[in-house]
Structure 1
């Protein structure tokens, strides 16, 4: 009789496990079945996601994604979950999320309504505005100063769209070039193939700080946009996975670790050169950390 009860209990357990597995959908089901999660990273989006001197992906967004991965391990009971790091660029990040190659894109991706038609975003981890960097010797500070000049931005970004829109609206006659990544775009300014590089202000600041001659460059005093939110990207129409990711990021931002992680990457020396970006947390981001949101509207972050 005891053996019969034990076998029945084991069968019930097996059925329970099977039912639980069947209940999983989308990304969570994929992760459970493969025992792996694919994390997309950038190679030069300092300090969000970039390669250190050991070619290891590190950064502020990578630390946030590590918290998400920990939550996935717990929920799916996968303590040995494999993390597959997959490089992405501005042009490939959305297609790789959409086609299932990458499960989380951990970088510096702007959350806007247009992109939400293709992918989903979790809670905001940074607010940035689109500006341009140029050499001080050229005395370029305002958008109209770029009239008739050659300007570069990174392919597949909101920044190049903003540049093209302003160029058309103001009839500036700018020769717009598209670079494959941020490093290539900045190199074009370094080598005078372009007079300016349009990108998110914090990324420009990091590229300048990491350059051979930081004192040679300046950021524009006029922005192309209001401060816009960055978010970790994930697949659209996957409510169970989004619920997990939203819960993990909200808990992280509200905890002491959220602010500590921000300070680690923006107010302290970072690898590989020990540069300090010295960018204090903006009031709008403090608000977003205390009340996490995935809102795409810049006005939602007013202090």
Structure 2
């Protein structure tokens, strides 16, 4: 049978045009950054939106060989990967205990975690730094990692508990009958089912940590390599700036983000939509 074609309506054309315009608006900064990364500083200052006259790569070479940028890349990777691994280990277990227990005590803990999402970071910033100094965590990478983990608990518990509502309890009961412990049930049976929401957590939190400026700037010691974003900040001067270095550095910082998002895109969309529906 011949396939019946649906007639194109004016609303479909308008919706497509609006979506295309929005996509171009969001994609242009990335295109502008990539284009400027292969221009000299003089070319950028003369005409910022012009295409590069050649394939200038000296900015990348200088950053990787003559500066502390490679160490900054390593610091960013340690902060991001270390924080994400700890979040994946801690937050799903907390959400599982809250969702499956369901008494007034766990409900109170759940509300406490959600309340933490409503308090701006600037409110408790100074007491937090004083606490880091008292614990000996100020000035090293362990301090920001602890802050990132604590700051993600509220959102992570909300995301995982919403997703766990759609996981049937029968599969856990079957595993319990087979002699599996409570910890074994979670890691062997339940956690593999949390792949989409875990991918959402990795993308959302990882992107925020990778691009964070304030925390590494304030917590890590001065005079030493910090993170990628903070190191690029030093190329912005009051009277002159090295835009070629800035765009080259941001291009290198974009590559891991794009790879991670493209790899986890399918699971990210599924996890966010499932959590929203089930919550």
Given the two structures, how large is their TM-score scaled by the length of structure 2? 0.21
Give the helix-richer structure, 1 or 2. 2
Larger Rg: 2
TM normalised by structure 1 equals 0.20
Higher RCO (Cα < 8 Å, 6 or more apart): 2
